[in-house]
Structure 1
Amino acid sequence: MGKWTKLAALIAMLALSAALFAGCGGSTKTGGEAKKGGKVTLTLWHYYELPPQQKALNEVAQKFNSSQDKITIKMEFLPRNELTKQLSIGMVANKLPDLVFLDNPDTPSFAAMGLLADITDKVNSPDVKKDAYYPGPLKSNTVNGKYYGIPLGSNCVALFYNIDMLKAAGITPPSTWDELRADAKKLTKDGTYGFAMSGIKNEEGTFQMLPWILSPGASFDRLDSAEGIKGFQFVTDLINDGSLSKECINWTQTDVEKQFATGKTAMMENGPWQLPVIKADAPNLKYGVVLLPKDKQYASVLGGENLSIIKGHHEAEAWEFVKFLMKPENLNPILDSIGYIPSRKDWAEGSAKLNSDPIMKVFVEEMKYAMPRGPEPKWPEVSEAIYTAMQECFTNQMKPEQAAKAAEAKVSNVLK
């Protein structure tokens, strides 16, 4: 049973339980509470667990609370899996926050369930300046052309390379698929692979595979197109060449970083969240970052969170906090604590901090090409089709064309 199906079953079961509970005189609680004098207290759920992240969130809450006397915002931490579980349960038990940070592929799922407020008119207003956002982050908040959130901050993946290894091989960082394949072959020797990526059988594997599907011009719902097949074929060829370890089917993105930091791979696909990890693991490693090599077009995959308002929960007051947060002086400390790039292109490209760092400058450039996973309410099932096909290719259980066609059949059935 897929994640979406299980979630639907859980909601149905909980709805019955909630109805029985209500019939016995039980009471429920909403997120926002109106206090004496008309002041409203709002709750925002998040899953940022590190002390610097929580400090930044609490400080912006205090700043907002001090800026006016109508609304109080409270930050509430829940572990990531618990947060999504409680949102599903809260829908039927009416125990919900007023605002929530969601991983960007989860926004369409909860919007389709009727949990999130439609804020299309607000996003389209001149105050938001939606055209200033990178297309990927903004698109990740949509279902059927309507907006159910606004981007908080973003990241993406690019190509890391070992400067000394490439220099010794007499090559420069690749910019095309043909160059990547040739360079990876040349760099594979003496226990070192030319390239590494995660091909694990879960969402993380899909996350790393998507750029190779998007670059030829395919999409998640056109996996069996010539372009989609080409993407699966290219990465499979890297494995068959011996340039990408067969063990990639077991690697997380953290495992890929370990391969790179220990000199077991010359190049890797990974994101900016690995920068402090590389610094700790290999402080003397000389490395650079370039855009992921392209086939037809540059492509990357979008990571990051969105901020959504819970439907029917003091939506007007919640939007006041959203407007306050979406000012660079209020948002940037939070993004810095998480290690995110602003989802607004003008803020990212105008950041002296980001653009003075040669590594982060590349990720800012890569954000132009970072596309969301979907957006699709049934993304978990789509993702399962993609990572299953990926593993079938990488382990030679199926030829890429067969695996891509089987995956598309599953996706088409999901999207009916």
Structure 2
Amino acid sequence: MRRRVRTRAIAAVSALGLAAVLSGCGAGGATSDVTLTLVAADYGNGAADSSKKYWADLVERYESDHPDVHIDVSVYSWNDVDRKVKEMVDAGDPPDMAQIGAYADYASQGLLYRAGDLLSIPVQADFLSQLSGAGEVNSVQYGMPFAASTRLLFYNKALFAEAGLTPPETWDELVECAEALKADGVKFPYALPLGPEEAQAETLQWLLSGGGGYTDIGGTYGIDSTENVETVSWLRDELVGKGLTGPVAPGELDRAKAFEAFAAGDVGMLNGHPSLMEMARKKGVTYGMVPIPGAEGETPSALGVADWMMAFEKNGHRDEIGDFLDFVYSEENVLDFSREYDLLPVTNSASRAMAASGQDKELKPFLDQLPLSELYPVGKTSWAAVNAAIKQKIGRAVEPGGSPAGVLGELQAAAVRAESAE
């Protein structure tokens, strides 16, 4: 029952006339206002759609019903937000809550509340199972999924029509399409962003399509597995080696630049997440989306990505944090955020609502992928170091004359070292 002690209980104590007694216990008074701090990532592309607006509206509605609780939200770009939270933690002054890209390091240091000590049972049970499982360290959930996305193959319909192409279902068909697009003068027949911004995503999607991944079924790193070496070797020889990935070396091409090139009409195909839809529409690019091609057919498991909410124990206020997060994860608020930023809901209730709604039909193909998606091994504290190593090194593996086995072997060794340091 400890997990559901909420402000209602505090109010009941005050009603019994015990507030004065409690205020003498050295905490500054039971009726004092509480200010909770939240550091959050910005999902917008500028001031017009900044996440600041989403949080301002949500906080205003929450505070109107909770006049004794104030929520102070600071929003930072994805380039800065993880570093900002780390600086605050290192300075001994963590925020009450952080909505960022990873949680495991803080959980392993014993700095976070358990999700079960914060959220009501219905709210915690509403998370999609594979997302709540990814939020666990040693079988205890600390990371609360906040936003999710999957990947589909985007293709430029106009360029495909001009070349008389249909969307590929296999790797061989993807090469055939890329060769035809190259013959028509398309700048990036297939955009392969293995630059340092988000190389871990493109890499994992290709490894999954080849039957591999970063870890094996038991959760042990297997980056240099036979399947993975064969996949990266295929990329080097059949796409990069044949000049089908455009004028920028994959190791120097960031995901954001690849998306911009697609929206400019310069890309025939690339793996994309839902935000690319709006970028393409704004630029007048007609696009199609199909499941990621695999070596022999449709990839059985798509890449899934989740961002995380966590709560730090240091400042206390467990009950107030839990009550606020229950509000954050209401069906209405999860849907509002997902629709505003073309992302996928992290709860079953909001996912059902989105699947049944006509207004979300463009997101449905991504939503259909989510239950079978595979996420990064975010529950491993070693993942931060492995992630950084992949971003730094994977581009070398597909260079002409590059060694997929050698680079993947280096990454596996780095993963083993990071694991042993946990």
What TM-score, normalized by structure 2, do the two folds share?
0.79
Q: Does residue 1:350 correspond to 2:346, yes or no?
A: no
Question: 1:134, 1:179 → 2: CA distance?
Answer: 34
1:160-199 paired onto structure 2 within 5 Å:
160-192=154-186, 193-199=188-194
Counterpart selection for 2:386 from 382, 385, 406:
382
Cα pair 1:210 1:300 within 8 Å, conserved: no
Displacement of 1:325 in angstroms is 1.3
Q: Does residue 1:337 correspond to 2:340, yes or no?
A: yes
User: Which amino acid counterpart does residue 72 of structure 2 have in structure 1?
Assistant: K
Alignment deviations for residues 251-274 of structure 1 (CA, whole Å, 9 cap, x no partner): 222221233234433111122222
Secondary structure at the aligned position of 1:289 is classed as strand
State the partner residue of 1:410: 414
Cα pair 2:37 2:71 within 8 Å, conserved: yes
Distance 1:357 1:267, change over 3 A: farther
Cα pair 1:197 1:270 within 8 Å, conserved: no
Alignment deviations for residues 351-374 of structure 1 (CA, whole Å, 9 cap, x no partner): 168654553222222323433222
Alignment deviations for residues 120-153 of structure 1 (CA, whole Å, 9 cap, x no partner): 46679444225x5162x33442222221121112
Question: 2:57, 2:327 → 1: CA distance?
Answer: 13
Question: 1:356, 1:295 → 2: CA distance?
Answer: 34
Cα pair 1:101 1:306 within 8 Å, conserved: yes
Gaps of 5+ in 2: 1-26, 215-220
Cα pair 2:120 2:326 within 8 Å, conserved: no
State the partner residue of 2:107: 111
Distance 1:392 1:156, change over 3 A: same
Distance 1:66 1:388, change over 3 A: closer
Alignment deviations for residues 277-319 of structure 1 (CA, whole Å, 9 cap, x no partner): 22233x1x22111121234743333334221111242222211
Question: 1:387, 1:341 → 2: CA distance?
Answer: 25
Distance 1:257 1:301, change over 3 A: same
Distance 1:377 1:353, change over 3 A: same
State the partner residue of 2:64: 66
Question: 1:121, 1:229 → 2: CA distance?
Answer: 43
Cα pair 2:332 2:350 within 8 Å, conserved: no
Secondary structure at the aligned position of 1:415 is classed as helix
Cα pair 1:47 1:77 within 8 Å, conserved: yes
Question: 1:342, 1:185 → 2: CA distance?
Answer: 37
Counterpart selection for 2:363 from 360, 363, 368:
360
Distance 1:121 1:233, change over 3 A: farther
Secondary structure at the aligned position of 1:268 is classed as strand
Distance 1:34 1:151, change over 3 A: farther
Distance 1:141 1:35, change over 3 A: farther
Alignment deviations for residues 103-126 of structure 1 (CA, whole Å, 9 cap, x no partner): 2xx211222233322224667944
State the partner residue of 2:246: 245
Distance 1:184 1:369, change over 3 A: farther
State the partner residue of 1:228: 228
Alignment deviations for residues 198-253 of structure 1 (CA, whole Å, 9 cap, x no partner): 121x2411221111112333232211111211221232221113222261322222
Question: 2:417, 2:262 → 1: CA distance?
Answer: 39
Gaps of 5+ in 1: 1-32
Secondary structure at the aligned position of 1:305 is classed as strand
State the partner residue of 1:260: 262
Name the % identity: 21
| RMSD after superposition | 2.8
Displacement of 1:57 in angstroms is 0.8
Displacement of 1:382 in angstroms is 0.7
Cα pair 1:246 1:394 within 8 Å, conserved: no
Distance 1:246 1:374, change over 3 A: farther
Question: 2:264, 2:347 → 1: CA distance?
Answer: 35
Distance 1:73 1:259, change over 3 A: closer
Question: 1:359, 1:318 → 2: CA distance?
Answer: 34
State the partner residue of 2:88: 90
Displacement of 1:170 in angstroms is 3.5
Question: 2:168, 2:359 → 1: CA distance?
Answer: 23
Counterpart selection for 1:320 from 316, 320, 323:
323
Secondary structure at the aligned position of 1:54 is classed as helix
Question: 1:160, 1:145 → 2: CA distance?
Answer: 36
